[in-house]
Amino acid sequence: MIPNWLQHPLNAGLLAGTLLATPMALAQSAILEGERFHPEESTDGMVATSHFLASRVARDVMAEGGNAVDAAVTAGFALAVTQPRSGNIGGGGFMLISDENSDEVIAIDYRETAPSAATETMFQNEDGDAVAEWSRFTHRAAGVPGTVAGLALALEKYGTMSLADALAPAIRLAEEGFEVPPRFVSGVNDTRERLEKWESSRKMFFKEDGSAYEVGDTFQQPELAATLKRIAEQGAREFYEGETAELIAAEMQRHDGLITLEDLAGYQPEIREPSHGTYRGHDIYAMSPPSSGGAHIVQMLNILEEYPISEMGFNSADTIHVMAEAMKRAYADRSEYLGDTDFVNVPLKGITSKAYADELREQIDMDSATPSSEIAPGKPLPYESNETTHFSIADDDGLAVSNTYTINFSYGSGIAVEGAGFLLNNEMDDFSAKPGVPNAYGLIGGAANKIEPGKRMLSSMTPTIVKRDGKNFLITGSPGGSRIITTTLQVLMNVIDHDMNIQSAVSAPRIHHQWLPDEIRTEAGISPDTLELLEDKGHTISQQAAMGAAQSIMIDDGRFFGGADPRRSTSSAIGL
């Protein structure tokens, strides 16, 4: 049965900032004890990001008359300063924008692309074996960055302010610095070996005497400030054709990298149609390929829609069982069919069809887990097509933004561009270095995601917007590598099936299954009795660290409710 505390209405009393810095262990303890979680609440708009400084500057933008896109772009650049481990201008991502006034939902694809000199076997040795180190911690691991171009495109088409104004808070934070929180200190220390390998990274993340920053120290980034100033003065193309581009190309030339001035000058973001599905009367919009997230969110919801999830109960053995079985089948299809639709034919209509979900659901036995070895990619006809940062923003004029971007690993490749003050991504690892060989997140890829010049690598990023009766209802998404898709799925189910408020929905314990390895990964907080019942059904359970950080917003009857995920201690939801 669903605990009473999970069934309270959306107009629960306000307890602003409840989870601004709540450790996950305390959050899960509170869930188990039945403590009520209250979202941040507002009538004029909402911002939910993974860093309170970014939330504040985005809130200020809307308070001064800017719209949700203005605030999103401002937050995106601010996070590049305050969270260099994941916020970025050296990576790429995806943005969904929903405008109630035009009944339009669009997707901006600013995913990185493979350099023109990239080859299918570039990360294989002479014996044909994939070498993980090459695709993760070298200059060749970097794809052509898309963040600056993508954020600038969103602002140009859907915002109201200038790029210079959107960059101003980030420039100030980089120049003046900010007090480093515990998560920053622990992150740098945990990645010290990788960062110290490169002089440019040592200079960026450590003091002149080589010592690490401590909690409360002021962290300044003069080189990044200078880069952002150039972009503010000369426009987004400065990053791709000006001094910053020259710094990137020179960094590559010094260390056998592949990105050239021509690669940078040729980069363009794309506006795409989002993946779309329905679930219990709600319209689900999520990112389309080269993200796999939207297709498989819709696919899993289609499978689950015919089960009485609310009656089965939140995180009951039966609910987790059918969720895991749906997840297995979606990730099996991901391994075979998903890739960049500019290069490969993805059976998107088939994967997201209700009829295909009916076929997959017939394979599920309520009493017994299907071994992953017995699950193969299906035939979804017809064809047509762990460190990341997500933020959600909505204004009171019907505009909502869901944005997820990344440099892949925490601190990406660990390589800072000399003289430019930002880290290079290692997104080339998201290609299939060799079909059938798992990447760093254990995800299996096939020929659809092989390396090709100019191609966008497959992603799990899943910025999502749910509409109810034509109105923006839920804005969500998450970091977490392969766990992004399942994290986002559970936030949606917690709200729609289990009637949780948005703070409870993002705080509740999560599970994950990705087909291979054949195990249900769980967070702390799920009943031992439930886990035993799942094992009786044939599931293997692996309790591991917290998954994702789903900064989310719910809108109901003209009121905005913000949920800051406690899994990131700096997370913040702020209402206007």
- Flag whether 2 is in a domain: no
Residue 331 tokens read as 């990730």
Q: What is the DSSP annotation of 257-326?
A: ----HHHHHT---EEEPPEEEEETTEEEEEPPTTBSHHHHHHHHHHHHTTS-HHHH-TT-HHHHHHHHHH
458-480 tens-digit pLDDT: 999 999 999 999 999 999 999 98
**385 labelled ligand-binding:** no
- The per-residue pLDDT for 37 is 76
Answer yes or no: do 112 and 127 share one domain. Answer: yes
Question: Among 16, 20, 12, which residue's Cα sits nearest to residue 36?
Answer: 12
430 is an annotated ligand-binding site residue: yes
- What 3-state class would DSSP assign to 45? strand
Q: Quick check: is 453 in a domain? A: no
**Residue predicted with more confidence, 2 or 454:** 454
Query: Could you confirm whether 43 is annotated as catalytic?
Result: no
| pLDDT category of residue 438 using cuts at 50, 70 and 90 | confident
Q: Which residues of 509-535 are buried (b: 16+ CB within 10 A; e: fewer)?
A: bbbbbbbbebbbbbbebbeeebbebbe
Quick check: 149 pLDDT over 90?
Answer: yes
- The DSSP secondary-structure symbol of 346 reads B
* Of 427, 448, 478, the domain-final residue: 427
Residues 115 and 136 in one domain: yes
Residue with tokens 């925490």, as numbered in its chain: 410
pLDDT above 90: percentage of residues in the chain: 86
The answer to the question of residue 485 being in a domain is yes
On whether both 263 and 382 belong to a single domain, the answer is: no
**141 and 278 inside one domain:** no
Which residue, 501, 482, 535, is CA-closest to 335?
A: 482
Residues constituting the chain: 576
229 and 160 in a common domain: yes
Give the count of domains, the chain: 2
459 is in an annotated binding site: yes
Is the pLDDT score of 383 beyond 80?
no
* pLDDT band per the 50, 70, 90 thresholds, residue 387: confident
Which two tokens mark 351? 């994967």
Q: Which of 135, 8, 4, 22 is nearest to 571 (CA)?
A: 22
| pLDDT tens digits along 533-571 | 999 999 999 999 899 999 999 999 999 999 999 999 999
Query: Is residue 371 in a domain?
Result: yes
- Backbone dihedral angles phi then psi of residue 306, each to the nearest 5 degrees: -85, -5
Distance CA 43, CA 560 (A): 6
Pick from 56, 50, 114, 47: which is nearest to 80 by CA? 50
Higher pLDDT, 63 or 386: 63
pLDDT at residue 4, rounded to an integer: 33
State the DSSP code for 206: B
Give a yes or no: residue 365 inside a domain: yes
Q: Are residues 402 and 358 in the same domain?
A: no
Whether the pLDDT of residue 30 is over 90: the answer is no
The answer to the question of whether 481 is labelled as a binding residue is yes
Sheet hosting strand 45-49, strand order edge to edge:
270-272, 104-110, 92-99, 399-406, 388-395, 45-49, 572-575
Residue 413 lies in a domain: yes
Is residue 150 located within the same domain as residue 219? yes
Q: Does one domain contain both 377 and 296?
A: yes
- Give the distance from CA 100 to its chain's centroid: 24
Residue 275 annotated in ligand binding? no
Of 385 and 28, the one with more pLDDT: 28
**Angstrom distance (rounded) from CA 217 to CA 67:** 34
Mean pLDDT over all residues of the chain?
A: 91
Q: State whether 171 and 189 are in the same domain.
A: yes
pLDDT, residue 77, reads: 98
Residue 211 lies in a domain: yes
Last residue of a domain, one of 376, 405, 427: 427
pTM: 0.92
CATH of the domain at 494: 3.60.20.40
Q: What is the C-alpha separation between 444 and 121, in angstroms, rounded?
A: 16
407 in a labelled binding site: yes
Give pLDDT, residue 415.
98
DSSP code of residue 142: P
Chain position carrying tokens 């998201």: 430
DSSP 7: G
More confident residue, 439 or 170: 170
Residue 115: is the preceding peptide bond cis (ω within 30°)? no
**DSSP assigned state of 517:** S
Instruction: Show the 3-state SS of 530-571.
Output: HHHHHHHCCCCEEECCCCCCCCEEEEECCEEEEECCCCCCCC
- Which amino acid would we find at residue 451? I
- What's the confidence (pLDDT) of residue 127? 93
- Catalytic one among 49, 352, 388, 462? 388
- Rounded Cα distance between 92 and 357, Å, is 31
End residue of a domain, out of 427, 446, 478? 427
Shared domain check, 111 and 71: yes
pLDDT tens string 319-346: 999 999 999 999 999 988 999 999 999 9
- Phi (first) and psi of residue 172, to 5 degrees: -65, -45
Could you tell me if residue 575 is inside a domain? no
pLDDT at 407 over 70: yes
| CB-neighbour burial class of residue 189 (10 A; exposed 0-12, middle 13-18, buried 19+) | exposed
111 annotated ligand-binding residue:
yes
Q: Structural domain of residue 336, as residue ranges?
A: 19-34+272-387+459-568
Bridge partners (DSSP) of residue 316 are none
Q: Check whether residue 136 and residue 258 sit in a common domain.
A: yes
Do 305 and 381 have their domain in common?
yes
Q: What is d(CA 403, CA 476) in angstroms, rounded to the nearest whole number?
A: 9
Taking only the tens place, the pLDDT of each residue in 258-282 is: 999 999 999 999 999 999 999 999 9
* Residue whose pair of structure tokens reads 């359970």 in the numeric block: 541
- For residue 111, give the amino acid letter: R
Angle between helices 222-234 and 163-176 (to 10 degrees): 170
469 marked as part of a ligand binding site? no
